[in-house]
Amino acid sequence: MKPYQKIPIRECGEPLVPIPADKFVIPSPHAYEKLGANYRGKSPYFLRQGVLNPLINAQNRLQVYQPGWQILIFDAYRPVEVQQFMVDYTFQTLLDTRGLAKEKLSEAESQAILTEVYTIWAIPSDNAATPPPHSTGAAIDITLVDEKGQTIDMGGEIDEIGERSHPDYYIAAKSPREQSYHQKRVLLAKVMEEAGFSRHKGEWWHFSLGDQMWAWSLDRAYAIYGRVED
């Protein structure tokens, strides 16, 4: 169990609401749907009402610092079933990349690779006390788009497994290009944190508000969003 999962949840009962396409960049089809994830009629571009309003505030704040720039919504609500799909997909991708076959792995080797997967993907738990963050409708993966509609290079890809995913990976960079990566990550965190979000300590793209990770990061007594029930 990760430390944040010990935070109690007092579900507030807010509904999921759609993220307005006129205020954000919303890719279609969704990245995980293109890989074969089945949302069973649900949309990944939904959030709790109490999370959407601060997100709009963050977009407005971004306009102050960088007029014309927008927040790109990579992922928001993610059912546990989709979480499991992406864990399995990432596990298989690592095997393929390394030329490994699952049936030939020892239990220890399989567990070691799964541990790598879980550095990025939360365990797809069905336990209501330990929901994956995205299953609560309170977590969001985002990046930036400039005034020309070009996605900003943040020095690493969303969902990338490796050191580059850490928010401060480029903090001591010497080259102007790598310094710019850090500056863009700082900007993204600034507008989100000013709006009330908390950033994942190991992922530059992941922010949440009201879930267990948010409560743990900000030393709150409890979370207000648990897993969204079907």
pLDDT over threshold 90, residue 167: yes
CA trace torsion 122, 182, 46, 43 (10° rounding): -70
Is residue 162 domain-resident?
A: yes
Is residue 222 domain-resident?
A: no
Binding residues: 134, 141, 206
Is residue 224 domain-resident?
A: no
Q: Residue 1's pLDDT is what?
A: 83
Is residue 105 domain-resident?
A: yes
Active site members: 203
pLDDT over threshold 80, residue 12: yes
Q: What is the mean pLDDT of residues 88-115?
A: 95
Q: Are 46 and 17 in contact (CB under 8 A)?
A: yes
**CA pseudo-torsion sign 112, 217, 162, 173:** negative
Instruction: Please state, in angstroms and rounded to a whole number, the distance separating the CA atoms of residues 210 and 37.
Output: 26
Q: Are 80 and 135 in contact (CB under 8 A)?
A: yes
Is residue 73 domain-resident?
A: yes
Give Cβ neighbours of residue 189 (< 8 Å, ≥ 6 apart): 167, 199, 204
Q: What's the pTM value of the predicted model, to 2 decimals?
A: 0.96
Is residue 197 domain-resident?
A: yes
For 154, the token pair is: 């943040």
pLDDT over threshold 90, residue 230: no
Q: Residue 120's pLDDT is what?
A: 95
Is residue 207 domain-resident?
A: yes
Across the strands, what pairs with 47? 17
CATH number, residue 61: 3.30.1380.10
pLDDT level of residue 182 (50, 70, 90 thresholds): very high
Task: Express each pLDDT in 38-97 by its tens digit.
Answer: 999 999 999 999 999 999 999 999 999 999 999 999 999 999 999 999 999 999 999 999
Binding residues for Zn(2+): 134, 141, 206
Structural domain harbouring 187: 3-217
pLDDT over threshold 90, residue 229: no
Number of domains in the chain: 1
Is residue 114 domain-resident?
A: yes
Reduce the DSSP state of residue 45 to 3 states and report it.
coil
